[in-house]
């Protein structure tokens, strides 16, 4: 399989890397520590919109670049490299991509131009406290005319407080429906939640909320399939973010161990230190390959459920092992908030647990193996 990227794809990745390098730094990130301010850099958001990166997956007729999910994954890798304070994953993978693929002509015309310009923020509410599968939510939908009345709770919804639409799944009598909920609608309550990464998240409580027909993304005939595809795209976007996080952690650790000396020589020359660094290098490269493979399949609309599980398993394990190694090889500096690694370690854990832990993904993949779905002849 050829993972060589086109010149246009590399240009997109390099542009994102340069902007994020210029506008995001330990000093700017420190402003959000301890919820001192909202972790959403509007200036960065505006710059990404200005150069067209927010609309990388928006069709050209709606004001975007007209690329696909592979380009989104490359952008998310750079976002992880800088742990950018912006809702890029949910906005693009949880909002733009499903609307561009499944939305009506009216929904695309109403939402996509604003999403590309940054005037509209999109997010997705895929997690519930007691429902592990986004395709089997406890949230209910009762048909009312061509729309639905929705009741239930969604857990840890990123940037819901500033979103214009929240993609939600709810179970109707006829099956799962996927809706583009207005978080300002009557019956919606948002309660801020605190996270170790300081990402703004909310508990979304829905009390008989009316969602009109114009905001129904998928009815019960196709709702489960649409939600599965949305979940897979957002999962791989998180894997790409984790790739950027862990790659940066590895580079920070390599730089530190090359400069830190004991007995007059860099500690990187010690066999035990070098071996642990080499193990993490292999980990990160495995995460890179599995993430690119899953992203490539999704970009071509090919079946990718097994590959998504594999990528998420690697994302969880590699995040855990890389943050552990980075802290150990940095010594006391690894937990000192005056140094860079600690924020990346928090995000590695954040990505590990979002949209299913390694244990839950292993259980899913094991069931696929038992059913013969994951075994290729």
Question: Does 374 score more than 80 pLDDT?
Answer: no
- Once rounded to an integer, what is the mean pLDDT over residues 86-97? 98
Topology annotation, domain 7-120: Butyryl-Coa Dehydrogenase, subunit A; domain 1 (1.10.540)
User: Which tokens hold the place of 376?
Assistant: 């290729």
- Once rounded to an integer, what is the mean pLDDT over residues 277-296? 96
In order of 107, 163, 164, 306, the CA distances from 114 in angstroms are 11, 12, 10, 34
User: Which tokens hold the place of 169?
Assistant: 């799944």
Question: Does 377 score more than 70 pLDDT?
Answer: no
pLDDT given at position 140 = 98
pLDDT given at position 268 = 82
- Which CATH number among 2.40.110.10, 3.30.450.90, 2.60.40.1180, 3.20.20.80 corresponds to the domain 125-221? 2.40.110.10
Residues listed for the chain? 377
pLDDT given at position 261 = 75
The Cβ of residue 139 has, within 10 Å, a number of other Cβ atoms equal to 20
Q: E strand or H helix at 188, and its extent?
A: strand 188-193
Please, which pLDDT band fits residue 2 given cuts at 50, 70 and 90?
low
Give pLDDT tens digits for 254-280: 998 888 878 888 878 888 888 999 999
Listed range (45-49, 291-295, 322-326, 370-374) with the worst mean pLDDT = 370-374
CATH class, range 224-371:
mainly alpha
How far out from the chain centre does Cα 363 lie?
A: 21
pLDDT given at position 332 = 76
Q: Any idea which residue has 């005037």 for tokens?
A: 119
Exposed/middle/buried for 49, CB within 10 Å: 0-12, 13-18, 19+? middle
Q: What is the reported pTM?
A: 0.96
Distance between CA atoms of residues 38 and 161, nearest Å: 11
Q: Where are the domains of the chain?
A: 7-120, 125-221, 224-371
Do 265 and 337 contact (CB within 8 A), yes or no? no
């Amino acid at each position: 399989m050829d993972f060589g990227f086109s010149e246009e794809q590399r240009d997109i990745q390099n542009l994102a890397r340069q902007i994020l390098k210029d506008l995001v730094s330990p000093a700017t990130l420190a402003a959000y520590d301890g919820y001192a301010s909202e972790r959403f850099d509007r200036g960065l958001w505006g710059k990404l919109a200005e150069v067209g990166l927010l609309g990388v997956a928006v069709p050209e007729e709606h004001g975007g670049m007209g690329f696909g999910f592979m380009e989104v994954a490359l952008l998310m890798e750079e976002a992880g490299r800088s742990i950018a304070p912006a809702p890029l994953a949910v906005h693009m993978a949880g909002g733009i991509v499903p609307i561009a693929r499944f939305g009506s002509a009216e929904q695309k015309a109403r939402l996509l131009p604003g999403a590309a310009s940054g005037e509209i923020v999109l997010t997705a509410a895929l997690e519930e406290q007691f429902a592990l599968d986004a395709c089997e939510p406890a949230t209910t939908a009762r048909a009312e005319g061509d729309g639905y009345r929705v009741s239930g709770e969604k857990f840890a919804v990123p940037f819901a407080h500033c979103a214009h639409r929240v993609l939600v799944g709810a179970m109707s009598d006829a099956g799962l429906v996927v809706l583009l909920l207005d978080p300002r609608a009557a019956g919606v309550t948002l309660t801020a939640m605190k996270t170790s990464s300081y990402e703004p998240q909310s508990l979304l409580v829905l009390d008989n909320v009316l969602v009109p027909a114009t905001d129904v993304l998928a009815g019960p005939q196709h709702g489960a399939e649409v939600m599965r595809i949305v979940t897979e795209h957002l999962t791989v976007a998180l894997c790409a973010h984790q790739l950027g996080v862990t790659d940066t952690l590895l580079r920070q650790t390599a730089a530190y161990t090359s400069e830190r000396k004991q007995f007059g020589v860099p500690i990187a020359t010690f066999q035990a230190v070098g071996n642990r660094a080499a193990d993490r290098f292999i980990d990160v490269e495995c995460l890179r390959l599995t993430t690119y493979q899953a992203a490539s399949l999704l970009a071509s609309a090919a079946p990718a459920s097994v590959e998504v599980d594999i990528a998420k398993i690697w994302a969880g394990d590699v995040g855990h092992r890389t943050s552990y190694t980075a802290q150990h090889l940095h010594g006391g500096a690894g937990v000192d908030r005056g140094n860079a690694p600690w924020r990346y370690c928090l995000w590695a854990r954040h990505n590990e647990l979002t949209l299913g832990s390694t244990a839950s993904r292993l259980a899913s993949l094991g069931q696929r193996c038992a059913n013969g779905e994951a075994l290729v002849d």
